[in-house]
Structure 1
């Protein structure tokens, strides 16, 4: 009887877990499906609030308006540059900084670790940061986007902890074979850290892809704006179409609901990340677990 109760409890727990996961999936998928449906639905039905999780009627005028402008291609190009350069720089600098901190005989290991932890608690603030970036002549450049986020205290601690778990005999053996620390890092440690690198590459890429506040503050040249700034500008213009005659004329001529254009812009903005994530997600759990046991 005891075994039966334990089996029943286990099955009930599994059913509850499955039901909870299904509910969470529905909750998370519904806003995406609703956004996609509105981008393709009939403007009159949108105005009546009849669109839920599937399109009603059909129109691609919202997408036509987006793709007829050169702003989209330019914003995509800028974003891809920021993502690629920023992610590579982030992984490279984090690895270079974390490697010596993982070595027990490194003289500055403790003070540098304390310094890194302090940056997690205290920050200079927006105005001092802006003044520093202005004095470094980084405004309206690629580097104003990729450099401030190139090193993260959280990433450094995770990388350092993971490097500490790699057997030190590998490093000592490489020393005996005449390898220096740079060769050890790039030929031994980095290949052994593929899951970790893939996970934090995903984090970095998503962070740079979604970055808009930094662009709004530091990039005055609209030709350098990323895709998220295009989305923000589109939403602001749709709220006050009198400030953008071309958009107002397009809405009136094609009988397009402004939400068609707004939701189409959202879909175009998030689509690349949705396609990339499934190829990286198999490394996600492993990368989050490795290096997180020891402090």
Structure 2
């Protein structure tokens, strides 16, 4: 018996040493990932406050004498920046609202076992994940619907994706059926069950889908290039893209090499400043979504 207990103790000691080694390796790897991720972010942030010639010749400098906000001043001198910012808030907010509404409703409906034709609907949805009409048919459809040069051309196309519906469906199927059955016994309708019982429990998946939709639409500019003609409707990303293009020197436009070099330095500074401006809302929003994000991303992992 004594030898057996000693063997168990040795196994526990070996296991604990192995666990410590694994934890140490994980900490080192996570530290490297943090450095890899935060390094470029800090570089861009500091670069947006540096004088152009210092950034081009010396790189990042922590000397306050080399700092300037000229890049941000140049960006906000044009009123189109604020208009583009408000447009992006409208597009991203509307896109997120439409995406969440239809994804949650469709996901809940597909999670109900009593739904007639559920398998056929799932096959239809999954088919659209792998096959679609493409760019030209989509443009023709948007044009025939009269959405060209309107905010709806940015909000509606692509707002509902099958992947989000599947995530919502998986989350709803993980909720206990006893809650819905008890509500049915008390006389609650399907809509009241969804509104009063299911929806309050679905905060993690709602916030995760909202974060995905908002980020995707906030960073998008391709649809705006295709569907929008009025410059007053341009989102922030498209406005910043034009600012960068306007500050880039095209071959043959400037003969003076000194003027060319100066313009390139200014364009470099504006590039960093525009990245910070475009990323700021997402950086502010993410901490408020983080606690729900950690729960929502694990949807289906334990099924």
TM-score normalised to the size of structure 2?
Answer: 0.87
1:212 matches 2:212? no
Q: 1:210 to 1:175 in 2, by over 3 A?
A: same
Which of 72, 76, 98 is the matching residue for 1:89?
98
1:11 matches 2:34? no
Residue 194 of structure 1 deviates from its aligned partner by 0.8
Using the alignment, how far apart are the partners of 1:244 and 1:216 within structure 2?
25
The gaps in structure 2 that reach 5 residues or longer are 1-9, 255-259
Using the alignment, how far apart are the partners of 2:247 and 2:76 within structure 1?
17
CA contact (8 A) 1:98 1:156 kept: yes
Using the alignment, how far apart are the partners of 1:184 and 1:202 within structure 2?
25
1:106 matches 2:115? yes
Residue 74 of structure 1 deviates from its aligned partner by 0.3
1:51 matches 2:71? no
Residue 65 of structure 1 deviates from its aligned partner by 0.8
Q: 1:59 to 1:242 in 2, by over 3 A?
A: farther
CA contact (8 A) 1:82 1:142 kept: yes
CA contact (8 A) 1:47 1:257 kept: no
Q: 1:54 to 1:210 in 2, by over 3 A?
A: farther
Using the alignment, how far apart are the partners of 1:157 and 1:243 within structure 2?
53
Residue 47 of structure 1 deviates from its aligned partner by 2.3
Aligned to 1:248: none
Q: Deviations over 1:170-212 (max 9, x none)?
A: 3333334343322222221110101111111111111111111
Which of 212, 227, 237 is the matching residue for 1:203?
212
* Number of aligned residue pairs: 289
Aligned to 1:20: 29
1:229 matches 2:244? no
The gaps in structure 1 that reach 5 residues or longer are 246-250
Q: 1:82 to 1:47 in 2, by over 3 A?
A: same
Aligned to 2:7: none
Q: 1:106 to 1:125 in 2, by over 3 A?
A: same
Using the alignment, how far apart are the partners of 2:253 and 2:300 within structure 1?
51
Moved more, 229-238 or 271-280: 229-238
Using the alignment, how far apart are the partners of 1:58 and 1:110 within structure 2?
61
Aligned to 2:151: 142
TM-score normalised to the size of structure 1?
Answer: 0.89
Give 1 or 2 for the bigger CA radius of gyration.
2
1:239 matches 2:248? yes
CA contact (8 A) 2:50 2:60 kept: no
Moved more, 251-260 or 16-25: 251-260
Q: 1:9 to 1:95 in 2, by over 3 A?
A: same
Q: Deviations over 1:98-148 (max 9, x none)?
A: 222111111121111111111111121111111111111111111111212
Using the alignment, how far apart are the partners of 1:90 and 1:108 within structure 2?
23
Over aligned residues, Cα RMSD in angstroms? 2.6
Q: Deviations over 1:36-78 (max 9, x none)?
A: 1221112222221x22485771111111111121111101110
Using the alignment, how far apart are the partners of 1:119 and 1:55 within structure 2?
55
